[in-house]
Structure 1
């Protein structure tokens, strides 16, 4: 029963957030006279609700900050900075590969000025942390910890990664004209978003995002007090992906485009292979390190 509760609680919270976001998103849409597409408002409202659910969920599951891998403020900030640098370093070789294979090409229509570039980079960095902090708190913090307590490491790593990957496809691509939108439109968009979970076109991206979740969960398992590092790595990846999209264009006509997916032109088979390799190296390294430490302690 405890295992089932740990596994279903995040799903219940997500479902509740989606239902409430349908109503709130629509009323926000009315308040701003349709200035922002309804589908985006629903998505962002759901994200805010998930963020607000973190502390009540911690209380409900009796989890402390230490249980989630949160260290003292100064060390936490240093972890985030180190993770940011590490995240960029991990994905940078892939982006260089994308450029060399013409999967991404320079946007020749973009007007590059120092002011524009700096403003965009600052905005992207801010968005990167707005995404990474709640997602890591939920998936590598609350969910991973509660599942590990209930069922063990492997169950926790894979199920948390599955939930994490699934969340990224709960997005509708349907645009509803402002003058045609009503409250029922919100739930039409939500239903449309749910169908994306079973869309076979998303399979390679789903697997890649699972590999992302598994890698980040492995870091938390191998170094329990490392949530700040996970946040930084995640932010570094989002920063690279969004910076790439801001200044370059996808090139679907590239012979190597199969290495990515249509999800964002980055997540795909190459990311899966790369992160699986790095995860394997991390597991091997920590195993040999721990084995060496244990041997040195033997009389």
Structure 2
């Protein structure tokens, strides 16, 4: 049996298996394919970096692994969509000018929501602004912006696009949102456990808010993509430039354990505030005109 025949047999078998499969089965298949296709790339990356299994992997060496994983994700989503005869439009991914407007609006909302939360923390004296580090922003803002757009786009396509849409076949929308948010949060443990565990409730709520953003955008991913990218850009910029220094005047469970906003009340307030804005916006845009 030559490679072409083997490939066609594999594709036909997968297509037949997934054709009438429940959404949860399609989701499981997606993650299996994603990991299986990524493992050879990860192995080559680790070998190239001369990493030993008994040694911790430094953060700078995790980046190539993360990039290869994220570059592969859209291809796997497309492959599963092709096998199940599903359009990317069903996942909320469109190539229209309106998508750019939604991304811009979401990005602005994400940045402003964090600016509001950090403003009252500064006012309360929970942290202070390091003015002398502001000059670093010019050199780092564009690279971080591009990374934020990339990470936000891939994660929204996977979790609020593909995953949520598939789960809606088996569960009501609220159930699909809860499950997809849980999977979104738990998978962050792959890269860092100690710092991620306190963030799990915040990550789950973040997933719920981003589903709400998709609803507010009429089922499209633009608003959720921009919102996600705005949060990533703002937090990464603050961390990289070290613009914020916590004063330890209050509990870190308020400001964020391990200096991670999602692991504290401040981050939860940011998410809840954003959720209320999205909910009100959705009600206004979709309310019947009398």
Q: Map of 1:77-116 to 2, 5 A cutoff? A: 77-107=100-130, 110=133, 112-113=134-135, 116=136
Q: Specify whether residues 293 and 206 from structure 1 end up closer, same or farther in structure 2 by C-alpha distance, changes over 3 A only.
A: same
Q: How many residues align?
A: 263
Partner residue in 2 for 1:55: 78
Find out whether 1:26 has 2:46 as its counterpart. yes
Superposition CA RMSD, Å: 3.2
1:271 aligned to 2:270? no
* Aligned counterpart, 2:94: 71
Show CA shifts across 1:43-84 (max 9, x none).
333233324323213223433132122334312112211221
Aligned match of 1:117 in 122, 137, 155? 137
Give the structure 2 partner of residue 211 of structure 1. Answer: 205
**Pairwise CA distance, 1:240:** 1.0
Alpha carbons 1:103, 1:256 under 8 Å: kept: no
C-alpha separation between the residues in 1 aligned to 2:176 and 2:257?
29
| Cα offsets for 1:164-219 (capped at 9, x unmatched) | 112322114xxxxxxxxxxxxxxxxxxxxxxx2xx6x7444111111111011012
The counterpart of 1:258, out of the listed 236, 253, 269, is 253
TM-score under structure 2 length normalisation:
0.76
2:256·2:267 contact (CA, 8 Å) conserved in 1?
no
Q: Larger relative CO (CA 8 A, sep 6+): 1 or 2?
A: 1
TM-score, structure 1 as length reference: 0.74
The aligned counterpart of 1:226 is: 220
Instruction: Provide the C-alpha distance between the structure 2 equivalents of 1:103 and 1:24, rounded to a whole number of angstroms.
Output: 45
Residue 24 (structure 1) shift: 2.8
CA shift at 1:251, angstroms?
2.4
Decide whether the 8 Å contact of 1:260 with 1:266 is kept in 2. yes
5+ long unaligned stretches in structure 1: 173-195
In the alignment, which residue of structure 1 is the partner of 2:18?
none
* Pairwise CA distance, 1:125: 1.0
Q: 1-side partners of 2:247 and 2:76: how far apart?
A: 39
Aligned-partner SS, 1:92 = helix
Alignment partners' CA distance in 1, 2:70 and 2:205: 22
CA apart distance, 1:9: 3.2
